Amino acid sequence: MPALEARNLTKHYGSRAAVQDVSFGVEAGQTLVLLGPSGCGKTTLLRMLNRLVEPDAGVVLVDGHDARSQPPELLRRGMGYVIQQVGLLPHYTVAENVAVVPQLLGHAPAAVAARTEELLRRLHLPPEQFAHQYPHQLSGGQQQRVGLARALAADPPIILLDEPFGALDPITRASIRREFRELPELRRKTMVLVTHDVAEAFELADQILLLDAGQVQQLGPPRELLLRPANNFVRRFFGADQLALQLRVLRLADVLDELPDANDFQTPSTTQSESNIIPSTASIHDTLEKFSHTPAPVSGEPTVWVQVSKSTLRPLTNATLMAAFGRALRRLKNV
Amino acid sequence: MAGGGKLRPCHVLRAAHFLYFTVNILTELFAFWQAQADKLGQQTLQHIGLTAASLLAGVVVGVPLGLLLTRRPRLAPWVLGGAGVLQTIPSIALLGFLIPVLGIGPGPAIVALFLYSLLPIVRNTLAGIQGVDGAVVDAARGLGLTDGQVLRRVELPLALPVLLAGIRTAAVINVGVATLAAYVAAGGLGEFIFGGIALNNPAMILAGAIPAAALALLFDGALAGLQHLRGRRLWAGRALLLALPLLAGLYLLPRAASKLLAGFSPEFVGRADGLPGLRQLYGLNPSSVVLAPALVYEAVRSGDVDLIDGYSTDGRIRAYDLRVLRDDQHAFPPYQAVPVVRRQALEAHPELAPALARLAGQLSDSVMTELNYRVDIRHETPRAVAHDFLRRRGLWRAPQPATGAVIRLGSKIFGEQYILAEMYAALIKGYTNLRVEAKTGLGGTSICADALRTGAIDLYPEYTGTGLLVVLQPPPAVLDSLGPDPVAVLAYVRREYRRRYNLEWLAPLGFNNTYALLMRRQQAEQLGIRTVSELSAHLR
């Protein structure tokens, strides 16, 4: 049973359909990214999940229960909510902002304080420095971290995020996104994230739901959308970033079979330094990065070693990797 | 520096004059405050009370109304438009509309002030809530705050500075408008101000205006202080809601009740020959309220007050069945009605004086009151009333063929004067062959007096007290020597008018249109009060 499910959600504003008959399910601990151009209805769709917008038709099921079976406030207290503009309460301190939901839920003050401190520390906002500051004293990135801490404070199983990194400059954005991805708190969460940034979607999604004009164009794992687009819109949407996305989506495991000869297997030994061994789950993109950091040997090209199994490594050069990548792409698209 | 920088003797003189004038007024002002310290305190408390009560009502109604508009924006243009229209009604007119419904006293004053405070409070509540960052509200709702919690914990605290600015505006407006409360017997610092205006006494105006201005600054400053409290903003709102009823309570404090409540016009309260004179001569000291001259008669008729000042020949005395208390110790100055005529006209037309003299002594106070009643209350024409009177007295004669010179008749701009002018016109036409040209409705005393002196008119009816105080303006020593004696006053104005202007005061008509104390006849009879002395004894 999906932790969060939407069935046939539809919303009209006047005669304009913002969302038309959209259905999806998100399994517990998975991340669904709602992707699409501006005005495609993705934010409306997200806001129907916590009933900030009531659908004209269709239902939202949380753990199999109709979301309308409880008052919207109670529903929302069980779902974290992060928005692009952050929306911290300007008259509350950082600590008070983080503590809003636990307090609404009636948690004990001591527990609330401990939880707040823990979250701030984990999000790199040392409480002794930040707890008593007001939002206007923080940078944009710091504010968004507080927003995230606020959404996580009551440890809700579901988190909804509406372009959470959209208002940040590219450098801050990349670093916060990395922190976000690596935050242990979020590993267990069921998340629905709205973005129009394709790279962000591919980085964070287990599933992507691509929307246009309120209608689902394709729903599936990122590589499926990329390699087997359901229609022209999907193809065009990823067209510009095709290669970059493919490099991110394909893993070494996908291309190993395409490597020319299989007789230079090696067992791990001390001849390879730790730094040039790479797991087979790494993306092609990350492997190429690795090449650029690996110094060339006295003769020949820089080589990295792929950990094929516990006991075997295979050597890779830039040239062999790119050749195998090309063959793998052709194979995957033709399946 | 050009030559303009030079100090000339005339500048010095002007500056010295200004300085003298200022020092003079300030001295008078402090003397006035000292003499009226208890009244000043009482009026200030009343003023604070009126402002706070109306402000409280404004907040209690205006803030929820503003909040309603944030939830129902479609109503906003209607409600704000309505409040805006209320704001444009001149305050004195608004009071006028409210008096028929609410009578006189604090009721209409507080309601009027409340209505004025609505617009800024409603508008700023709306603007304040609408000014709250939508993302903040959205995030708060998304976190699971209920609508009520969003309002209390997010919208209201964030809108509070703007909301308080609206209350501040309303408070300053109300402190100013509350001066008008003195017109409807609701007290406040307007009592001094309107008394000062009526008496043309700048020190007295300042005695009320300065504390009123200080109060406005005080309210403004206190609310500004609340507005700029950071952090726990809602405390500011709570403090305000707590403080306003306490301040409003001040209004109730200083009212001491006596057996009868008097309602006096501001001029009467301030004039030496008004209430202060009565106090001195009779020891009369009733608890009293001040209200607009136009309202005193209504106030006594409706029973809001029991005793008023008025004019002894006013038609409403008859219409409202009031009793004039006899001024048995002559506290009020004599205001005998007398025709004043140019000497040239009397000499050129010897037949004029006998014709005019036919009316001498014909009109008693009660007869004149009756005639005024027919014109002012029953709306008969002055001419019809005048002719009817002459017929009944056997003075009427049909007009003779008009062949002679023109006599120009003047009058001031109120009913009694019109009636007298019509009587003189009829007498001149009936008893001489002079022609008559009426120039009635000439405005106030000074206009009539000037017209007569320059020969623009030949005669008009005047009152001895007015001629003495407004036209001749003798030094205080002379006024003291004349006292309240009607004969002495008439003799003095007659002599001085002859000497200065070559004008003649003929024989008095008989009535004395002076200040009078009035009570409802029924109550006066019940209490057995006919004279001011009896009133004074009753109150003691």
Query: Worst-scoring range by mean pLDDT, B73-77, B183-187, B448-452?
Result: B183-187
- For an interface test with B, give the residue of A43, A44, A53, A81 to mutate (most B CBs within 10 A): A81
What band does B257 get if pLDDT is binned at 50, 70 and 90?
low
pLDDT tens digits, one per residue of B117-137: 999 999 999 999 999 998 899
> pLDDT tens across B36-81, in order?
888 888 889 989 999 999 999 999 999 999 999 998 888 888 988 9
The partner residues of A66 in beta bridges, in order of sequence, read A61
What was the ipTM of the complex prediction?
0.82
Query: Is a pLDDT exceeding 80 seen at residue B288?
Result: yes
Is the Cβ of B382 closer than 8 Å to some Cβ of chain A?
no
Number of H helices, E strands in chain A: 16, 13
Contact between A160 and B144 under an 8 Å Cβ cutoff? The reply is no
Better pLDDT: B145 or B255: B145
Q: Which residue has the tokens 């003779």?
A: B400
User: Is B135 in the A-facing interface, judged by CB distances under 8 Å?
Assistant: yes
Q: Do B143 and A150 touch (CB under 8 A)?
A: yes
Q: What is the predicted pLDDT for the residue at A141?
A: 85
Mean pLDDT of B153-168: 89
Other CB atoms within a 10 A radius of the CB of residue B301 amount to 16
> How many other C-beta atoms are found inside a 10 Å radius of the C-beta of residue B281?
17
Test the B interface: residue of A44, A75, A100 with most B CBs within 10 Å: A100
- Backbone phi, psi, residue A304, to 5°: -120, 165
What local confidence, expressed as pLDDT, does residue B128 receive? 93
Residue from A185, A189, A165, A190 nearest A118 by CA: A185
Q: How far apart are CA B84 and CA B95, in angstroms?
A: 17
Domains in chain B and their CATH numbers?
40-252 (1.10.3720.10), 261-331+517-539 (3.40.190.120), 337-513 (3.10.105.10)
Q: Which chain A residues contact residue B141 at CB under 8 A?
A: 52, 76
**B180, B109 contact by CB (below 8 A):** yes
The reply to whether B142 touches chain A by the CB within 8 Å rule is yes
CB < 8 Å to A89, chain B: 136, 139-140, 153-154
pLDDT score, position A299: 67
How many CB atoms lie under 10 A from the CB of residue B486? 18
Q: Give the nearest chain A residue to B146 (CA atoms).
A: A73
Identify the weakest region by mean pLDDT among A71-80, A265-274, B170-179, B235-244. Answer: A265-274
**0.90 cut: is pTM over it?**
no
pLDDT at B2: 46
Query: Which member of A74, A75, A81 has the closest CB to residue B139?
Result: A81
Label residue A274 by pLDDT band (50, 70, 90). low
Q: Taking residues B211-222, what's their average pLDDT?
A: 92
Helix (H, G, I), strand (E, B) or coil at B147: helix
pLDDT at A335 over 70: no
> How far apart, in whole angstroms, are the C-alpha atoms of residue B458 and residue B409?
6
Predicted confidence at residue B3, as pLDDT, reads 46
B152 touches chain A (CB under 8 A): no
Q: State how far the Cα of A200 lies from the Cα of A177, in Å rounded to an integer.
A: 8
More confident: B35 or A95: A95
Contact status, residue B407 vs residue B344, Cβ threshold 8 Å: no
Q: Which of residues 38-57 of A touch B (CB under 8 A)?
A: 50, 52
A78 CB neighbours in chain B (<8 A) are 144
- What is the radius of gyration, based on Cα positions, of chain A? 23
DSSP codes, B239-304 = HHHHHHHHHHHGGGTT----SSEEEE-HHHHH-TTSHHHHHHHH----EEEEB-GGGHHHHHHTTS
Distance CA B71, CA B65 (A): 10
Cα–Cα distance measured from residue A3 to residue A190, given in angstroms and rounded to the nearest whole number: 7
Task: Supply φ then ψ for residue A8, to 5 degrees.
Answer: 55, 40
